[in-house]
Amino acid sequence: MMRRATLHAVLLAACAAASSVDAADPARADALQDLYRQLADPANPDWRRIQSDILREWSLSGSPAMDLLLRRGREALERGDTRAAIEHLTALTDHAPEFAEGWNARATAYFMAGRFGPALADIRRTLQLNPNHFGALTGLGRIFEELGQDERAMAAYRAALAIHPHLDEVRAALERLERKSTGIDL
């Protein structure tokens, strides 16, 4: 019991540190906006590096403890252990509620567990915190597609492509749904 209380106290302190190092840092926010601008250029041959830079930036909470929870959640997902992933990522969202990537990672875990309702709620929170999260928009499209809500799926895919036009799988999904909606089969 003492160990759990100690972990809780450490996480609360880390949460306070994480919330003070968020996107409110003007230099960090400006750099990220510049990366989004570069990524949105469909002719940019360096888009893979830019995407990598964005993903790396998204994964930084400002707290080593929160980054550890994110890493553990992702590792659990890689092992296919959605229950453990959801536990780690719930601890992360509880203690760092302004960290968008925690919500997005937990949405992925819920999706993989077939729990679309909670996944949609976490995607909503992710997009409130980071409207440029092309991964969350892609996930939103996949969920809507699974639910047979093709128009909503297409809108989510289009939004993702407006931010990141290099997502070939998203472009293919959008084209497939557009063909389906027009009744044209190529």
When pLDDT is cut at 50, 70 and 90, the band that residue 185 belongs to is low
Contact between residue 82 and residue 113 where contact means Cβ atoms under 8 Å apart: yes
Burial 44-62 (b: 16+ CB within 10 A, else e): eeebeebbebbeeebebbb
When pLDDT is cut at 50, 70 and 90, the band that residue 22 belongs to is very low
List pLDDT tens digits, range 170-179: 999 999 999 9
Sign for the CA dihedral angle at 158, 143, 80, 82 comes to positive
When pLDDT is cut at 50, 70 and 90, the band that residue 2 belongs to is very low
List pLDDT tens digits, range 23-53: 468 999 999 999 999 999 999 999 999 999 9
Contact between residue 121 and residue 128 where contact means Cβ atoms under 8 Å apart: no
According to the model, what pLDDT value does residue 150 have?
A: 97
According to the model, what pLDDT value does residue 25 have?
A: 82
Residue type, 108: T
When pLDDT is cut at 50, 70 and 90, the band that residue 184 belongs to is low
What's the chain's average pLDDT? Answer: 88
